[in-house]
Chain A
Amino acid sequence: MTNDDLDHLLESHDDIVPSSGFTDAVMAAVRHEAWETPPLRFPWERATLGPLIAVLVVGLSVASGFVRPATVGSAVPGVVGTGEMLTAIGDAASSVRLGWMALALLLTLVSVGLSSHLASRVERHE
């Protein structure tokens, strides 16, 4: 027996005709699918609003530490030196508990990322 013999055997195949109700069955399923409420979309606008506001608040809090009322002896009124600026950032960060906020933000991002990743995997398997 050769490859050609095998080709000949495997080429020949019964041709079946779909049953008369096949098209109707498919279209009924398609219409059902079309009328079904689409799955809820992830609310990215709302989900990103919270972290954005948090970042804004933290940013403003930190920025408020850069600028202080003019002090006596300062070369440029209203502006502090680098050392003082770092101290101010540290102070501002500790006063608003920046570490905790950063951690909370990080956890939020991880949580959102993980849930959307899982959701996309479920969609792919369906």
Chain B
Amino acid sequence: MSAAEDQADVDRVLGGDPSGFEGLVRRWQRPLVNLAFRFCQDRGRAEEMAQEAFLRAYRSLRTWRKDAAFSTWLFAIATNVYCSELRRVPPRPVALDDVPELAKPGAAVRDDAYRDRIVRRAVLALPAKYREALMLFYFHDMDIRAAAQSLSLPEGTIKARLSRGRAILLRKLSKLLAQPETKQKQEQER
């Protein structure tokens, strides 16, 4: 249903009616803003980036070859916009080793929210190519093909980047996130 609606809206816009684009914005704003939010962790900036992605899509609507789903094409444009924007102005100018929570491996993991914050900061601090592969992979529900299409890269490259990115994250996070289990074991031994 959505694909047919996308097609109809695109045809309207290409036929000279810009208001046809509104249906596309309404249908895809949520995933696009959420993807942008994963990239920058800043709501205001996420909406700005998503708006730029929609505008870019509007300008190049004629280049959508209907052999791929409209969403695939739209996500590829959005990913391109987000990656360029984040490379231009990084979300947080920190290296992985500079994340305070990670610099102190003995720090306690207080709760899930705290742990999630550490994980997200660690992801943001990854080198761009690993960060982008990881974000797209998890955004597309761990679908390597969809992540590859969004980044316009071969699946093999995505797999390699995922593997390397995960290895870096595991190394940095393992001590911190294994702590509760260690505590539990110690309590069980008592």
Contact = CB atoms under 8 A, between A and B. Distances in A.
- Majority secondary structure of chain B interface residues (helix, strand, loop or mixed): helix
Interface stretch (B44-52, B69-77, B98-106): B44-52
Interface in B118-165: 119, 123, 134, 138, 141-142
B170 A1 contact: yes
Interface stretch (A27-35, A47-55, A101-109): A27-35
A67 B153 CA distance: 62
A6 B58 CA distance: 37
Nearest to B120: A13
B142 A11 contact: yes
Contact of B54 (A7, A19, A26): A26
Contacts of B46: 16
A75 interface: no
B54 A16 contact: no
Interface of A: 1, 3, 5-7, 9-19, 22-23, 25-27, 29-31, 33-34
Contacts of A3: 166, 170
27 contacts: A1-B173, A3-B166, A3-B170, A5-B177, A6-B169, A6-B173, A7-B138, A10-B123, A10-B134, A11-B138, A12-B116, A13-B34, A15-B30, A15-B34, A16-B34, A18-B29, A19-B47, A22-B25, A23-B25, A26-B51, A26-B54, A27-B21, A30-B25, A31-B18, A33-B18, A33-B59, A34-B18
